[in-house]
């Protein structure tokens, strides 16, 4: 489908669909449309030694990334003796931006909505302080005693409300499929996307989790290409055996996911936004892992989107 046909279809679909074009299909076929980040989790989860914010910021600066997905835990402010203001100063010194914050909660529990809304507002306030706009919605865990699809459907109105609250303040929320949660399989993904309003709830996919959850990454991204607003890129290989997915994770270019096809899709739709390399687990030291993925990005992915 060419751009003229796409615009025609969006106009026929109504003003909401057409306006959604501004979020993920802005004009311009330029590699600068994409900003690359890496997740603090890579340094946070390293067991061999304690890594600091400075360690991660220096590594990311050296590797030429644009930012970091940084959702600091309460204890980490004390651990590193920092405030939000100090973190922002440090990021500015290293020429980095915050790409987004991760947020999860029991979205199917209506009795928790007040608490969830309060926590969401804290994330919004923090994002705005960093001049950022993306909240990555981590699905909650699920008790196998309930009806999975009905529970997913019940989250729709809550997520719509949260998305509207965020949007009114210049922030976006995106559904983030993740193993060991209620949104794992293609069936789960389709159910939550059907249950939510595309005006307020986007998709912030994780390639590795979609793949290990039994999904065809390119197919699912194509299905929801109008709602893509943020990414976690991670590679994966092998058959996922519940509950431990970490042995299946790989640096970019070392697994089974066709990232070249993903980038061709993003070029086709003129995606504009953040791609965060989210390495949940690795056998490498953080800098070595980050460097391996960035070499694949620089050599194989960036040339596609030029």
Per-residue pLDDT of the chain (306 residues; tens, 9 = 90+): 444 444 334 333 333 333 333 344 333 334 579 999 999 999 999 999 999 999 999 999 999 999 999 999 999 999 999 999 999 999 999 999 999 999 999 999 989 999 999 999 999 999 999 999 999 999 999 877 789 999 999 999 999 999 999 999 999 999 999 999 999 999 999 999 999 999 999 999 999 999 999 999 999 999 999 999 999 999 999 998 989 999 999 999 999 999 999 999 999 999 999 999 999 999 999 999 999 999 999 999 999 987
Q: What are phi and psi of 123, to 5 degrees?
A: -65, -40
The end-to-end CA distance of the chain, in Å, is 20
The answer for residues whose C-beta is within 8 angstroms of residue 249's C-beta and 6 or more apart is 208, 234, 235, 236, 255, 279, 280, 281, 282
Residues 235 and 252: beta-carbon distance below 8 Å = yes
**For position 142, what pLDDT does the model report?**
87
The pLDDT of residue 1 is 43
Token pair 């920092």 in the structure block, residue: 82
Smallest CA-to-CA distance from 96 within 129, 128, 64, 127 is with 64
Which residues face 276 on adjacent strands?
Answer: 37, 232
CB within 8 Å of 235: residues ≥ 6 apart: 207, 208, 249, 250, 251, 252, 253, 254, 255, 256, 257, 259
Please, what is the Cα angle at 306 between 223 and 94, to 5 degrees? Answer: 100
Q: What is d(CA 279, CA 103) in angstroms, rounded to the nearest whole number?
A: 17
pLDDT at 31: 53
Buried b (16+ CB within 10 A) or exposed e, 232-259: bbbbbbeebeeeebeebbbbbbebebeb
The rounded distance, in Å, linking the Cα atoms of 270 and 6 is: 12
pLDDT at 2: 42
* Interacting residues of 225 by C-beta distance below 8 A, sequence separation 6+: 24, 265, 269
Q: Contact, 195 vs 168, CB < 8 A?
A: no
β-bridge mates for residue 175, sequence order: 137, 203
Of the candidates 62, 135, 129, which has an alpha carbon nearest to the alpha carbon of residue 102? 135
């Amino acid at each position: 489908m060419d751009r003229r046909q796409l615009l025609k279809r969006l106009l026929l679909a109504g003003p909401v669909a057409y306006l959604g074009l501004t979020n993920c299909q802005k004009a311009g076929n330029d590699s600068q449309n994409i900003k690359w980040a890496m997740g603090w989790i890579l340094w946070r989860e390293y067991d061999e030694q304690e890594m600091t914010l400075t360690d991660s910021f220096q590594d990311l600066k050296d590797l030429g990334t644009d930012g970091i997905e940084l959702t600091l835990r309460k204890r980490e402010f004390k651990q590193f003796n920092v405030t939000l203001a100090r973190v922002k100063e440090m990021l500015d010194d290293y020429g980095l931006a915050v790409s987004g914050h991760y947020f999860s909660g029991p979205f199917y529990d209506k009795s928790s909505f007040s608490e969830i809304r309060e926590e969401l507002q804290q994330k919004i306030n923090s994002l705005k302080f960093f001049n950022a706009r993306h909240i990555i919605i981590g699905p909650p865990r699920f008790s196998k005693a309930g009806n999975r699809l009905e529970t997913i459907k019940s989250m729709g109105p809550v997520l719509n409300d949260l998305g509207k609250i965020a949007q009114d303040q210049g922030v976006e929320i995106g559904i983030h499929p993740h193993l060991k949660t209620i949104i794992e399989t293609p069936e789960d993904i389709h159910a939550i996307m059907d249950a939510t309003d595309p005006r307020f709830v986007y998709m912030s996919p994780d390639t590795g989790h979609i793949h290990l959850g039994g999904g065809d990454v390119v197919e699912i991204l194509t299905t929801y290409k109008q709602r893509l607003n943020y990414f976690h890129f991670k590679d994966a290989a092998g058959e996922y055996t519940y509950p431990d997915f970490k042995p299946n994770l790989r640096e970019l270019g070392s697994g089974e996911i066709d990232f070249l096809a993903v980038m061709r899709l993003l070029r086709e739709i003129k995606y504009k936004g953040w791609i965060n390399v989210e390495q949940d687990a690795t056998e490498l030291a953080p800098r070595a892992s980050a460097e391996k993925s960035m070499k694949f990005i620089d050599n194989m992915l960036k040339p596609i989107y030029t």
